Each structure stands twice: as structure tokens, then as C-alpha cells.
Structure 1
């Protein structure tokens, strides 16, 4: 069964399709919101993005491909599954190239759709967890003083305490004091773990 926290948005201008998909996904434990227009979806969920969105390719006002492009800007990280008719495969492939998670052809195979949604939700969850982890590491890093950050950078580059002391014109004892403080603030149990954390910080700098 799906997590109760997984929220799925269905955007399709055909009421029968919306209702059918909502009923199907609800049986798997998903919370499902339906929208007739892409504009309504973006307006309603601007402050609370879903775990996944199903977008029909052919819709009035804003088609699925345009909506997918807008999704990557307004809700980065939210996976989209494109619903397409046989004649719209080229559009679906284009959406995939632009970041869509998957596309499902009509008539919709329920099991394929459910499997695709589960994969998209898992991808979103992993991304969310990774972002939360990065945010936590950056928060620890903000605890460091400027001098401690300088020491950490050199430690990550492989410099010894002796070399760091020479480069920063401070004593080895002071370097060791900074290193102990850095380990505590960064909550690193070992040098290898500290270096991994430093490399993560470097990615975001």
C-alpha cells in the first residue's frame, strides 16, 4: 500500500478519466486531487506540491507538454507522468526528454499506471530525503566559525595539522583544538566521515 502522505494530482480535461484514476489510486492508499485544467492545478498546489502529477497531453488552454515544462520551474523535483493517446507519442517522448518520469498510453493499463506512480513517488521521496540531509549538513556547517571553516577546507584537501598550522600561521595545538571543535559541531565520528561531509558542503557552495 502507498504511504498516506503520498499525494497525487491528476490533470485531465475529461471528467470520466479524472474520476476513474482517482478511484483507482485511492484503492492503493494515495490521496488524490483532480483538476480539469493545468492552470487550476498550479494555482491550487503552488504552496503544497504533490508527490507526483499525472498530466494529459491533450488539454485546452495549456497542454501537457507545456505544463511539464512549467512544472520543472514551479515545482522542481515533482515527477510527472504523461498520459497520451497513440497519436501523441512524439509529444510524450519530448516530455520525457524534458524531465517527465514516464508516459502511459491510452487505453490506460491500471497495473502499469500504478507501478509507474509508485516509482515516481519513490523517486520524489528519495529526492526529499536527500535534500533534507543536505539541509541538515549545511545547518551544522553554519555553526563553524570562519577559522574553523578554513581548517575544515584544508583538512578535506588532505593537509596535516602541521601543514595547516604553517599555512594559517597558527600553532599545531590551535589547529588540533579547531579540529576537535569541527568534529563536534559537524557531528562527525571519524576523519573519513568529516571529509565526506566537507565534500557534500562543497557541492552546494
Structure 2
């Protein structure tokens, strides 16, 4: 048992919440369920150790105020947002509001456990990143002027064709610039690109701790759909 570290599950459909609890208890972490945000904030102290799984309904971003309230209460636990249907604009918004990570349902057991374990092991990094500037000058300085234009559009959640129209170039050219940007920024996904651009910690696969030697195909269905 990882004493003192608790995984808090809040604002998620009861059926999904129970499934998450069942899986995460196998990792030896203490798991605590909260029916709603109000009860979570009443129960958790700012200096608590662990992480939070919270639901945000996209595309309307219902539940996003949870992240804002967490900042107001000075909660320093990494918050992993779970959603039934992720989109780029929504992902950018939850990262801007301070989420540590974003996971989309249905979710494999392996991915869930890996995300939680990384949030636990990198909590100190997360706390430090929250107070840092949102740019990485070293890598950003390698981008060309046009690549910076494309990056700005991506961070705002714009589609390739919209960026292309605004810059007067083709969508294929935007895709090429995006590929170059991701190479220079050393990321493999747009989500990681957004994290770096916003100053949030990105995933480092070499530091993930995979679940004990088993490949599970169990998936958690989003009962909200």
C-alpha cells in the first residue's frame, strides 16, 4: 500500500467511477470516491498527496470549473481529466486550466494505470511547472517565422484548413510545417505539443511505469454515451 498517496475520483458517472476504482486498487494505491466536486473540496486538504481523476464533458466543457476551483483552493494534486469525446480545442482548454493529463474513454487498463503512476512519480515536477512561464525558448527559437505562425494556430485549436486559409497557404503545407514543428519540439503528438507550448509537463515514455507484466484488454465503457 502506498500510504499517504490517494487517488481521488470525482465527477465521473457512478458505473465508470466504480470500474476505475476496481482497476486502480490493484496498484496498491488508496482510492477514494467523491460523488461531486463540492464533497471533494470539503474532504481534501491543499497539501494532500496523490492525484485526481475528474470528468469534463466535451465539447461543451461541462465540469471545467472543477479545475478553476482546484486552483482557488490551492490544490496541488495533479488532475487527470477524463472525457468521453476529446477534441483539440477542449484539450487545449483543460491544459490551460491546469490539468496534468487528458484521457479519453473508452480507456484501456494499461493506459489508465500508466497515466496515474506517472502523475504520482512526477508530482514534484508538476508543482514546479505550474509556476513556470508557458514557453520553452530553447526549442521555440529553432522554429521559423512560418512555423511559429502555424504553432500559434495549433495552440488555439484551429484546424489545418483554417490555419491554411488565414496564412494563405495550402493545408498540405500546414501539415508539413506541423511535422517539422513536432520534430523540432521533440514531441510525437499534438497533445504533447500543446503541453510544451503551455509550459505543462509532457509524457516521457521512458519514465512511465507499466503495469506488472500483463497486457490487459479490459476497457472501460463511457456510460454517458
- Larger RCO, structure (CA 8 Å, separation 6 or more): 2
The residue number in structure 2 matching 1:68 is: 67
The gaps in structure 1 that reach 5 residues or longer are 130-205
**Per-residue deviation at 1:5?**
2.7
Whole-angstrom CA distance in 1 between matches of 2:79 and 2:42: 17
The residue number in structure 2 matching 1:104 is: 103
The residue number in structure 2 matching 1:10 is: 9
Structure 1 stretches of at least 4 aligned residues deviating more than 6 Å after TM superposition: none
TM alignment of 1:145-156, pairs within 5 A: none
TM alignment of 1:29-40, pairs within 5 A: 29-40=28-39
Scaled by the length of structure 1, what TM-score is found? 0.54
The gaps in structure 2 that reach 5 residues or longer are 129-225
Q: 1:113 to 1:97 in 2, by over 3 A?
A: same
Output the aligned Cα RMSD: 2.7
**Per-residue deviation at 1:11?**
0.7
Whole-angstrom CA distance in 1 between matches of 2:92 and 2:68: 13
2:9, 2:32 within 8 Å by CA — same for their partners in 1? yes
Scaled by the length of structure 2, what TM-score is found? 0.49
1:14, 1:36 within 8 Å by CA — same for their partners in 2? no
Q: Secondary structure at the match of 1:94?
A: helix
Question: Which one has a larger percent helix, Structure 1 or Structure 2?
Answer: 1
**Per-residue deviation at 1:48?**
6.0
TM alignment of 1:43-54, pairs within 5 A: 43-46=42-45, 49-54=48-53
The residue number in structure 1 matching 2:93 is: 94
The number of aligned residues is: 126
Q: 1:97 to 1:47 in 2, by over 3 A?
A: closer
1:64, 1:82 within 8 Å by CA — same for their partners in 2? no
**For each residue in 1:92-120, what CA deviation from the matched residue of structure 2 results, as whole angstroms up to 9, or x when unmatched?**
33111222110000111211111111111
